Chains A and B, each alone.
Chain A
């Protein structure tokens, strides 16, 4: 395909030969040069001669029966190659990650604003848009389910009438996707010991991942009747499992290659345009490109669940927590996506990183006609952390204690039993993380003052010139959070690594082939580092991720360094065994040390643990290549009991703490975050530069949802009111403070190299830390995030 631009990461990305470049070093990204020169091919950059453009027509109403669809006028448009509705779908009509309840194209009903109803393929995007506008759809609108009250009313209309999923049997209402209670100890009895009790109702707004690279890709029909798909996703094999049945093709005829991914943050864990582009390509026999624009992107992926959280905590006079009761209601929107797992996380992590023996917890996820919600960085733990950290501050205030000391007094540590009954069996330095952020020197006051006057760039309002210091009050707040790492609740979570070691041009070269999605986090950097460390080679080639190798699982849940890192480490050690076998066969008789079990590969040689070189890899391998493809699993987990919530559901936990320093213009209700310091235990920093980048990025997404980010859904129509970057705001460089990072490396003995998933934890505690700081500055209660100027000014 000479006229095709399809590879995300080029086939032969090779890291150089000058340095050791193993684990623990800040090696630089192998895709860095391509990314700074504009040559890195993202999914929206795919191009093929003679390709068509796909366009989706989406529902203009949130809940309606589809009375009729008339595509005739659209089909008659010059330049249009296909106009499809659900009637034209080749096979299965639904897809879904956990349960297939999501229509490829709506049939019978639409259940949310912006649901795909029809498709057009044309020779130019404008032709496709004009044709789509000519499709006539008649809707008969239905009552809307928009919140807990309307969803759970006894006579509520059901979002899905015929549920066949495995949660349908245990939920208390068919508009509840999943319900997870956790009962441990006796909260009612323990409450009697409490000297103070605080309650709170908290609201968490709907956050968007707002990755910059829009949903996009290219589907190329193949001569064998199959399809070659170049897309940006977090999990190729999960996509494959959902795509193939909808195309009526066996999985081996759906060949997926990872295109460059412009950020993900959970929003690419579900399918977006993959099936739609493929259906058009198969129908027209031509390559089809689809690219959502920013408006469409807001309808093109699931969002973070908005939540309402009711909490009650008690504590004794000396500051020990007695009990906790909570009810967490997550709005899952119109389709299931990963709502059940989000519910499980919210419930099992609802206590936070604290010791509380007596709890009564209930988390539910709703079906509504709001936009579907699913995975986003922090996944259920974010909403809970916002609420329990507000509660901690309230308790400390009521007890007259320092909020950090109060938290430290109740901090979980290794050995603590979770509300699920699961012991925390690796380091949990919660008190230490808090100590570290608190011990930092405070940023100087009144940094806006300069010899030339107030520098508005350092003030709330920024360039908008709203204050020169008037009304500005400083506040400081703290928060800490706990996030599970990896897939939980009995999920068979594994990754696969194919490692090849061979001699090329007189040098031993390792090739790492996995299906792990590089979404920006730097997995490709780490994979090479691990191969270097394990195989003692300099040259490592990272093969493009595709479905020609086994599943790597999702790039989410902070799991890829642990899981695909673990798989690479494991496959490398199997390769090493084979290499040693060959070495023993060839050279074993020349040196007694070959019989030793402790041989290593280092610096291109087989060496003893005493450092004596026995042979070079080049001599051992000659023209023989060693290749291993092997799956690797973390230790098994268990589902949570549906009544008591008990069970060893999680693999590992991650902890981060933040201190936020803010300045609030209390008259206008505008906030400037001055500093957002983070301390986090990362287990082992495989690549310190990437670790810091993850922590700073996660922190900033938490900052965004504290002060500006929210998808606003009109409760009267269930329509999204701000699907654009004009009205859905994410932090700019002038909104983002310095983010000093202090990381600990306390190894988890169960994890490869002791690593701990790092990407998600900073997103948890950053939001409540900023909220706490704003409360500290204003004295307001602030039970909702994001905080808007209206909330701060009482208007």
Chain B
């Protein structure tokens, strides 16, 4: 095994070009466990810790360009306004120690369906900025996940940042685990209201081979909200709409049975989370936010 320690982003890209099998390591959450437990012996480890710009973000007009290694702790503490869904998701990631080092680049690189960030990236919508010595490109998040633990990266590419749409409405994130902290998702759900475009987007984690959006649920809800004039009237969403949305979200899931949960439970839980998070975001949108609808932690 060789340990590559590029001092700059350019050096990192050059190293990755020269050694396409090099495994990038930043927060170490996934890679070090694989090494410690002898599941993986990469030829090269490519350390990204020395590249300061990966830990920085820029807030633009429309989007936040979030460096791949910005620690979850900073996202949850400093980006709650711009990226509320991702801030909530960040708060559910593993432990405080891991949140201090891990960033979305790791979740995206590993592309496990159980990665906590994915639903909160799918719901607001974003583009993943990847780069190689050949150049840079933006991959829409909807095209990023290509299979179980597979993504759209070319072998010489590294993840530089994620361009996430700044919240233009309420967002929520919810994750089921069988412990009250430090737990891998049994399944997770993210939702973002986009009042500017009068759309709702979603993300589902751990309930299909890849992170997915509940597209039929989104389409149904977008139509129902439009038809009923809900965006203007801000009236309470009828239980039947919420129910149907939840059922369609549940139907979007394509889960498996494993040690963390059964497929049936995952489908069920996705539906419950869809209904609840829709309720929370919509209440917030209505501006009648009562105490019990705002989660704090």
**A/B contact in complex, CB under 8 angstroms:** yes
Q: What is the interface of chain A, defined by CB distance below 8 A to chain B?
A: 129, 133, 293, 295, 449-457, 460-471, 667-670, 672, 707-708, 712, 721-722, 724, 726-727, 729, 731-735, 788-790, 793, 795
A293-B291 contact, Cβ under 8 Å, with A470-B276, A668-B269:
no
Set B38, B173, B262, B291: member contacting A454, Cβ < 8 A: B291
At the interface, yes or no: B91 with Cβ under 8 Å from chain A? yes
**B296 partner residues in chain A, CB cutoff 8 A:** 450, 452-456
Q: Cβ of A453 and Cβ of B294 under 8 Å apart?
A: yes
CA distance A516 to B296 in the complex (A): 49
Q: What is the interface of chain B, defined by CB distance below 8 A to chain A?
A: 36-38, 88, 91-92, 172-186, 259-262, 264-265, 267-269, 272-273, 276, 279-280, 291-297
Q: Cβ of B38 and Cβ of A795 under 8 Å apart?
A: no
Query: What are 12 of the A-B contact pairs (CB < 8 Å)?
Result: A451-B291, A453-B296, A463-B180, A464-B92, A464-B183, A468-B276, A668-B272, A669-B265, A721-B259, A735-B179, A789-B186, A790-B261
**B292 partner residues in chain A, CB cutoff 8 A:** 449, 453-454, 468-469
A454-B295 contact, Cβ under 8 Å, with A464-B176, A789-B269:
yes
Q: Cβ of A295 and Cβ of B37 under 8 Å apart?
A: yes
**B179 partner residues in chain A, CB cutoff 8 A:** 462, 708, 729, 731-732, 734-735
A455-B297 contact, Cβ under 8 Å, with A295-B37, A795-B265:
yes
A790-B293 contact, Cβ under 8 Å, with A462-B181, A464-B176, A732-B181:
no
**B264 partner residues in chain A, CB cutoff 8 A:** 790, 795
CA distance A450 to B276 in the complex (A): 19
Set A465, A469, A672: member contacting B91, Cβ < 8 A: A465
- B100 to chain A minimum Cβ distance, whole angstroms, is 15
CA distance A293 to B35 in the complex (A): 12
**B279 partner residues in chain A, CB cutoff 8 A:** 470
**B38 partner residues in chain A, CB cutoff 8 A:** 129, 133
**A707 partner residues in chain B, CB cutoff 8 A:** 178
CA distance A763 to B262 in the complex (A): 29
Closest 4 pairs between A and B when the two form their complex, measured CB to CB? A462-B180, A453-B294, A795-B265, A734-B181
**A467 partner residues in chain B, CB cutoff 8 A:** 276
Q: Cβ of A453 and Cβ of B293 under 8 Å apart?
A: yes
A670-B176 contact, Cβ under 8 Å, with A453-B296, A463-B297:
yes
A732-B180 contact, Cβ under 8 Å, with A452-B296, A668-B272:
yes
Q: Cβ of A457 and Cβ of B297 under 8 Å apart?
A: yes
**A793 partner residues in chain B, CB cutoff 8 A:** 265, 268-269
- B225 to chain A minimum Cβ distance, whole angstroms, is 21
Q: Cβ of B181 and Cβ of A735 under 8 Å apart?
A: yes
Q: Cβ of A464 and Cβ of B295 under 8 Å apart?
A: no
CA distance A670 to B136 in the complex (A): 44
- B143 to chain A minimum Cβ distance, whole angstroms, is 28
CA distance A672 to B185 in the complex (A): 17
Q: Cβ of A461 and Cβ of B180 under 8 Å apart?
A: yes
- A719 to chain B minimum Cβ distance, whole angstroms, is 12
Chain B interface, >50% SS class: mixed
CA distance A512 to B180 in the complex (A): 44
- A248 to chain B minimum Cβ distance, whole angstroms, is 33
Q: Cβ of B294 and Cβ of A727 under 8 Å apart?
A: no
Most chain A CB inside 10 Å of its own CB: which residue of B174, B176, B179: B179
Q: Cβ of B295 and Cβ of A453 under 8 Å apart?
A: yes
**A729 partner residues in chain B, CB cutoff 8 A:** 178-179, 183
Set A293, A466, A470, A733: member contacting B175, Cβ < 8 A: A466
CA distance A452 to B295 in the complex (A): 8
Q: Please give me the residue from chain A that is nearest to B269 by CB atom.
A: A668
CA distance A467 to B180 in the complex (A): 12
Most chain B CB inside 10 Å of its own CB: which residue of A449, A668, A712: A668
**B180 partner residues in chain A, CB cutoff 8 A:** 457, 460-464, 672, 732, 734-735
CA distance A669 to B37 in the complex (A): 32
Most chain B CB inside 10 Å of its own CB: which residue of A467, A469, A729, A789: A789
Q: Cβ of B181 and Cβ of A463 under 8 Å apart?
A: yes
**B91 partner residues in chain A, CB cutoff 8 A:** 463, 465
CA distance A457 to B96 in the complex (A): 14
Q: Please give me the residue from chain B that is nearest to A448 by CB atom.
A: B292
CA distance A295 to B34 in the complex (A): 12
**A788 partner residues in chain B, CB cutoff 8 A:** 178, 261
**B173 partner residues in chain A, CB cutoff 8 A:** 465
Q: Cβ of B37 and Cβ of A293 under 8 Å apart?
A: yes
**A293 partner residues in chain B, CB cutoff 8 A:** 36-37
Q: Cβ of A727 and Cβ of B176 under 8 Å apart?
A: no
CA distance A669 to B179 in the complex (A): 12
**A708 partner residues in chain B, CB cutoff 8 A:** 178-179
A456-B176 contact, Cβ under 8 Å, with A449-B291, A465-B92, A727-B260:
no
**A721 partner residues in chain B, CB cutoff 8 A:** 259
Q: Please give me the residue from chain B that is nearest to A735 by CB atom.
A: B180
CA distance A793 to B259 in the complex (A): 17
Q: Please give me the residue from chain B that is nearest to A667 by CB atom.
A: B272
**A471 partner residues in chain B, CB cutoff 8 A:** 272
CA distance A460 to B174 in the complex (A): 12
Most chain B CB inside 10 Å of its own CB: which residue of A450, A463, A721: A463
Q: Cβ of A461 and Cβ of B176 under 8 Å apart?
A: yes
Q: Cβ of B37 and Cβ of A468 under 8 Å apart?
A: no
Q: Cβ of B181 and Cβ of A466 under 8 Å apart?
A: no
A789-B276 contact, Cβ under 8 Å, with A457-B297, A732-B179:
no
**A469 partner residues in chain B, CB cutoff 8 A:** 292
**B174 partner residues in chain A, CB cutoff 8 A:** 461, 464-466
Q: Cβ of A465 and Cβ of B294 under 8 Å apart?
A: no
- B45 to chain A minimum Cβ distance, whole angstroms, is 14
Known: A466-B273, A468-B294, A727-B260. 8 other contacts (CB 8 A): A453-B296, A463-B181, A670-B176, A731-B179, A733-B181, A734-B180, A795-B265, A795-B268
**B92 partner residues in chain A, CB cutoff 8 A:** 463-465
**B294 partner residues in chain A, CB cutoff 8 A:** 452-454, 468
CA distance A463 to B259 in the complex (A): 21
